[in-house]
Structure 1
């Protein structure tokens, strides 16, 4: 086991990793920008190192400064959290060259799954069902036209190196294809420095289903069920739940087994998430995230398995704590991502939190790095906390969530709490009848 772990992140995920390390008896090092000197994880860590000014490129993305912080403090491992450097293959390789363990998968797996075209090829080779589409990058409009004609309209054009909805356009017929193709390439090049795109069949009203997997790097892997992340705004997840209201036990077991076998064959090490669109009883692979997900707590709630513990254990050469036959699913869990944003306009709302009171009681968990008097800086993601609720079934979970949202108080800034108070009382949500387009339609209707 590691002696000292440096946490190369900030906010609630840095605090989440810190807590796991403390439970395992591991010393912790917090790195922070000048804007985060008063952050909770900095206050609670055994040691802290300032790695630069507020801009992420000069601090949390500054590989040189982070490696130097390891050398100064004697940290023998780094946990990257999510975002920032968590899926940077070069970072993993640099750490290996400096004999610092990366608590995550091998660089080759990060690189393969970070390229959407190569990821799709790899998924198909491993027996994971994929969306019909181009086999590689497309640069010629005439080639795009032929491919779209073969798979049938509507089609979606995506940046090969992208995410978060950038470099992603839909063409519903041939007349829309040329403009959508050119715009997607232009956006992809501007956002990612790579204008390669690929074309896939566009599904009308799918769910977004993802399967949590963990591998030990020795050919063993398990799945921990699925999460439904269909409630999204601009391709950003807002509300996640486990298990999905759309799946039955047979579908759950089928896709889980496919995913665990695939990551075992890869020799994958650590936590990962295989993401799908699901429509008419069929799964279609869209990507694999080679890191811990924001929404991992709902999986922990229904399985009782600590995913960060598993990450740390396998990264240090240990084994998985459970076999597939030992994993049981209990009840239902929902996570709401609480952002410092106006609940109607979604304009960010940095500033001082005057009062912060979290709900409590059976089945309630709040992951947050903020506190009363904390100043939210304007430089980073607006996520300030996650409310995770667990119940014996989905009905109980929704009732408990409604109560918890009523107790949650954040004064001094705008938050998205009012949105969740509306959603939890909506009939479609209560019935589990929603897809990836539902939330944007709901918001558009006012």
Structure 2
């Protein structure tokens, strides 16, 4: 089995697993200084875009392609590659196709998709003048962007004026007070597997970046049914026709209503905490899909409790880990995150307390 992986930044998440399955790993990357190149059986440096990976896939006679792209920008090009390879050459590409990519990478088209399919989402409109905003707070976004970039919660007319000076237009949506929820959904060959509802913290007027928030899984929120979130995320993914790994972002309002916010048709930033809570590694599942071995009906879901905490550069954490907890550090230097798996929520609370005490001792801000 020969698989082409596109993008090296996330390749370390799948390299060992793919090799253990007997897969010959071929890697394409546009940056010659990118990490993880040495982990593949062979790698190729190509120009940006999908023409290079297309040529490599055909020249290397690969059996499947797995794009490992965690940003939105190239997703439409990936969808073009999928269409080309699957239609003309019968080579499966574990990613979403053109229609799903077009909708998911444009936030306004995503909102129209929700409305068209009668999926509850905050009221929205496109604006280009401060006079278009009459009630506050509201959320202002650009049609394209991810990870909180270009997002502002405007509390005053002055906020709107400042936002529109920097960007002459915006997608405006109602601000929903509640908690942010994220669900990863795996889908391939018509079979769908939602993983777990991840609690990404309260919605905040200050617009705190998602990477600076503590996340918990499964989400335990008063008045919230986690199964409803899994079902809604699966419904959205299936209606969209997305494949591979899809991340559905939602908000649970204070009165218990579930609002769909965004859809990301790519590997998710919640993949570590999703695996910690369920025992299902979404990145390994992409390899299984490519190899024809993905059988969601036979996957055993585990029921753990997990937390993901921004820690910067934490140093030695062994001393604060309670017996029975397992953990992993991930992310770039100075922006590392700690993901912990435990058998009960009390152990998670203990980790948070000990980490807070450690930061106080070191004079760090919690």
**TM > 0.5 fold call:** yes
Instruction: After superposition, give the CA deviation of every residue in 1:325-353 in whole Å (9 maximum; x if it has no partner).
Output: x865512012345657xx8xxxxxxxxxx
- Residue 25 of structure 2 corresponds to 28
Instruction: After superposition, give the CA deviation of every residue in 1:285-341 in whole Å (9 maximum; x if it has no partner).
Output: 221111111221222222222322333344566664228xx865512012345657x
- CA distance in structure 1 between the aligned counterparts of 2:118 and 2:54, rounded to whole angstroms: 38
- Residue 91 of structure 1 corresponds to 78
- CA distance in structure 2 between the aligned counterparts of 1:175 and 1:384, rounded to whole angstroms: 32
DSSP-derived class of the 1:322 partner: helix
- Residue 359 of structure 2 corresponds to 422
CA spacing shift, 1:267–1:65, aligned 2, 3 Å: closer
Correspondence 1:11-410 to 2 at 5 A = 11=9, 13-32=10-29, 33-36=31-34, 39=35, 41-51=36-46, 61-84=48-71, 88-98=75-85, 99=89, 100-134=91-125, 137-139=126-128, 141=129, 145-146=131-132, 148-149=133-134, 152-174=135-157, 176-185=159-168, 197-203=170-176, 205-218=177-190, 220-230=191-201, 234-238=208-212, 239-246=214-221, 251-280=225-254, 281-315=256-290, 320-322=295-297, 328=301, 330-336=303-309, 362-366=324-328, 386-399=337-350
Alpha-carbon shift at residue 159 of structure 1 (Å)? 0.4
- CA distance in structure 2 between the aligned counterparts of 1:339 and 1:74, rounded to whole angstroms: 42
DSSP-derived class of the 1:274 partner: strand
Instruction: After superposition, give the CA deviation of every residue in 1:237-288 in whole Å (9 maximum; x if it has no partner).
Output: 244321124356x521122222222323333322211102333023322211
- CA distance in structure 2 between the aligned counterparts of 1:337 and 1:75, rounded to whole angstroms: 39
CA spacing shift, 1:67–1:309, aligned 2, 3 Å: same
- CA distance in structure 2 between the aligned counterparts of 1:95 and 1:268, rounded to whole angstroms: 12
CA spacing shift, 1:85–1:76, aligned 2, 3 Å: farther
- CA distance in structure 2 between the aligned counterparts of 1:4 and 1:424, rounded to whole angstroms: 51
DSSP-derived class of the 2:43 partner: strand
Alpha-carbon shift at residue 212 of structure 1 (Å)? 1.9
TM-score by length of 1: 0.67
Alpha-carbon shift at residue 94 of structure 1 (Å)? 2.7
Alpha-carbon shift at residue 25 of structure 1 (Å)? 2.6
Alpha-carbon shift at residue 93 of structure 1 (Å)? 0.9
In structure 1, the gaps of 5 or more residues are 52-57, 186-195, 344-355, 370-380, 406-418, 426-441
Contact 1:222 1:260 in 2 (8 A): yes
Number of aligned residue pairs: give it.
Answer: 352
Alpha-carbon shift at residue 138 of structure 1 (Å)? 3.1
Q: Does 1:9 align with 2:4?
A: no
Contact 1:337 1:385 in 2 (8 A): yes
CA spacing shift, 1:401–1:113, aligned 2, 3 Å: same
Contact 1:170 1:180 in 2 (8 A): no
Contact 1:7 1:17 in 2 (8 A): no
Q: CA RMSD in A?
A: 3.7
Contact 1:168 1:184 in 2 (8 A): no
Contact 1:229 1:237 in 2 (8 A): no
- CA distance in structure 1 between the aligned counterparts of 2:289 and 2:23, rounded to whole angstroms: 15
CA spacing shift, 1:368–1:217, aligned 2, 3 Å: same
Runs of 4+ in 1 over 6 A off after TM superposition: none
DSSP-derived class of the 2:173 partner: strand
TM-score by length of 2: 0.79
